[in-house]
């Protein structure tokens, strides 16, 4: 049976580290990290996510602001708010909660956020810095996966890592971070022969949003499995992209769903806000 990688416990450690850093910044530099979150419309999931982020920021001693805008807002009005937050020295991190309404160009909005305040790590400049192996703000979920691998004492250098999913939010940056850590990396997508590719993975990261897509018999015995997926089945159960029961019989370590990668995303957002506040990328 695989070792469970407890994302809740690791996230709690990250938050504790951040809290110590916040207290140090306040005492030594009279600096309070500030996080501004923009939410547009009434998407229920977005509301839950933003509430969780705001609560975490306040618990850690950040200054925290939520800007909730009507779904009918004009794009120029949203861009003007982003520019205002860019210019505000009290705001160190800006997060625009996705998805945005269809009439708004999300890529343009993300590109308008100052790269130095882009705590989501989605700005083209930060994406470019990651691709070049240069310091920059990293997307929170793959950043969290790297911390989970570290906490699980997973040796990355020289290992074969397979990333299933090629999104700009998780798959591509995850592959680049693993490559930067000296893994040999394969990115899989809908045209890939998944059973063949997954069977070669010493480290498997899955982020495709398809319930229980990855079968346990595909997994190399002893592999470390990181399941980023969160899917609600018809029976109401929350499951990942990996069939946990069968995969846990072959993996050496695996993240559960829920309680694995999920808690790490907000924790690493807090870490990114500290990095943005101190310029310590």
Shortest CA distance to 175 belongs to which of 136, 203, 214?
A: 203
Measure the CA–CA gap between 253 and 245, rounded to whole angstroms: 13
Catalytic-role residue among 6, 19, 28, 97: 97
Pairing of strands 160-164, 231-232: unpaired
Transcribe 81-124 into DSSP letters.
HHHHHHT-TT--EEEEPSPPPTTS-HHHHHHHS-GGGBTT--SH
Is 120 in the active site? yes
Length of the chain: 281
Spatial contact of 239 and 258, defined as CB atoms under 8 Å apart: no
Tokens describing residue 220: 């190399």
Is 8 in the active site? no
Q: How many CB atoms sit inside 10 A of residue 180's CB? A: 16
Shortest CA distance to 202 belongs to which of 141, 145, 251?
A: 251
The backbone torsions φ and ψ at residue 69, rounded to the nearest 5 degrees and listed phi first, read: -110, 150
Catalytic-role residue among 53, 117, 172, 220: 53
Compute CA distances 139 → 158, 190, 197, 215, whole Å.
24, 23, 25, 27
Measure the CA–CA gap between 281 and 86, rounded to whole angstroms: 18
Tokens describing residue 117: 């305040």
Catalytic-role residue among 26, 55, 105, 120: 120
Determine the straight-line distance between the first and last CA of the chain, rounded to whole angstroms: 38
CA R_g for the chain:
19
Contacts of 125 (CB under 8 A, 6+ apart): 115, 118, 136
Active site residues: 53, 97, 120
């Amino acid at each position: 049976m695989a070792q469970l990688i407890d994302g809740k416990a690791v996230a709690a450690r990250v938050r504790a580290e951040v809290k110590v850093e916040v207290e140090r910044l306040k005492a030594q530099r009279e600096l309070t990290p500030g996080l501004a979150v923009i939410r547009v419309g009434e998407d229920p999931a977005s509301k839950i996510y933003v509430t969780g982020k705001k609560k975490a920021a306040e618990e850690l001693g950040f200054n925290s602001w939520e800007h909730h805008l009507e779904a009918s807002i004009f794009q120029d009005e949203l861009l003007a708010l982003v520019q205002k937050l860019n210019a505000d020295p009290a705001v160190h991190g800006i997060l625009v909660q996705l998805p945005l309404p269809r009439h708004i160009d999300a890529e343009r909005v993300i590109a308008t956020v100052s790269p130095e305040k882009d705590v989501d790590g989605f700005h083209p400049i930060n994406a470019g810095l990651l691709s070049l192996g240069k310091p920059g703000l990293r997307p929170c979920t793959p950043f969290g996966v790297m911390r989970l691998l570290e906490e699980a004492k997973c040796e990355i250098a020289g290992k074969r890592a397979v990333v299933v999913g090629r999104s700009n939010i998780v798959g591509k940056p995850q592959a680049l971070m693993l490559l930067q850590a000296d893994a040999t990396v394969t990115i899989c997508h809908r045209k890939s022969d998944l059973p063949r590719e997954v069977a070669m993975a010493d480290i498997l990261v899955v982020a495709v949003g398809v319930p229980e897509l990855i079968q346990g018999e595909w997994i190399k015995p002893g592999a470390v499995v990181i399941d980023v997926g969160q899917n609600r089945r018809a029976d109401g159960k929350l499951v990942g992209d990996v069939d946990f029961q069968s995969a846990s019989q072959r993996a050496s370590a695996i993240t559960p769903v829920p309680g694995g990668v999920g808690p790490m995303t907000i924790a690493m957002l807090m870490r990114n806000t500290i990095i943005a506040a101190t310029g310590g990328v």
